[in-house]
Amino acid sequence: MLTQIKGLHHVTSMAADARQNNDFFTHKLGLRRVKQTVNFDAPDVYHLYYADEFGTPGSVMTYFPFPNIGAARQGVGEVGTTVFSVPEGTLPYWQQRFAEQGITLAAPEERFGQKRLKFSGPDGDGFALVEDKNDIRAPWLKGGVPGDEAIRGFHSVSLRLKDGGATEELLKFMGYEEVDRSGSMLRMALKDGNGAEVIDIETLPTAAFAGLGAGSVHHVAFAVEDRAKQLEVRKALVDTGYQVTPVIDRDYFWAIYFRTPGGVLFEVSTNEPGFNRDEDTAHLGEALKLPAQHQHLRPYLEKHLQPLEG
């Protein structure tokens, strides 16, 4: 069993409109945009990062906004719900806030003894807020949401799978333990992680497979401290039979990727070097930052990319 993984690092999804996406996360949810850069493989498309003040692993929601992308098709083989943690007793605040902002939301519910509120993103993205009285992480305080109610970071992701058995075994190998079951839902968690330590698996054997598009999660990333720990994880996964990519430099972390038995793309990312490697912490996300191989495209990209504000 691996001990290097400390919880979620980031979740990366697809969107159709960069400005709408930026408004939703920075103004409606009150997160901080900690980086605006571009997709390494499609540099005419943004890669936007939203998080707490520092871009702490376990709080980072990222997006590829592809103009004119088709809508996602929900199903199995994907992350169905990305869940954020908020303080105990704050769901009424968020219900009122979402109602005022026209955000589609469901009635509050309870899962595994925790109150939660499901809501939709601008592309139909599946989100939820969960009240977690044990979450002591500090929120971003300049996003328009009072500190007593603000999002702390990720609580969990919920995977929708046709058969959860093999993914359950993978997560156990990655250090997760079963903590509860309810109907078709299984909850797994890490001990002594980074606060974003929970994975839920929902088994839906008769559901159709999902189709990637605007509103769907592209991949979910797990956090390790450094490159040495990452290489240990990579070797263990390869030795177990997984096809794992070489280590890829993503400027703000190093990444490896592999496809899970249930179809979800997993990434393992380092906590180093962090989002302040090319910007002062006080000004994270303010300027367009480009990977070295795309610096020559700056004049074109500054004219081509949609302005995020205005």
Q: How far apart are the first and last CA of the chain?
A: 49
Give the residue among 252, 257, 281, 282 at the shortest CA–CA distance from 267.
Answer: 257
Distance (Å, rounded) from C-alpha 86 to C-alpha 90?
7
> pLDDT band at 224, cuts 50/70/90?
very high
Query: Is the pTM of the predicted complex or chain greater than 0.85?
Result: yes
The DSSP-derived string for 160-193 is EES--HHHHHHHHHTT-EEEEEETTEEEEE-SS-
Give the residue among 104, 150, 111 at the shortest CA–CA distance from 125.
Answer: 104
168: its two tokens: 């359950």
- The 10s digit of each residue's pLDDT in 179-188 is 999 999 999 9
| Residue 195 CB-density burial (10 A; 0-12 exposed, 13-18 middle, 19+ buried) | buried
- The 10s digit of each residue's pLDDT in 66-124 is 998 999 999 999 999 999 999 999 999 999 999 999 999 999 999 999 999 999 999 99
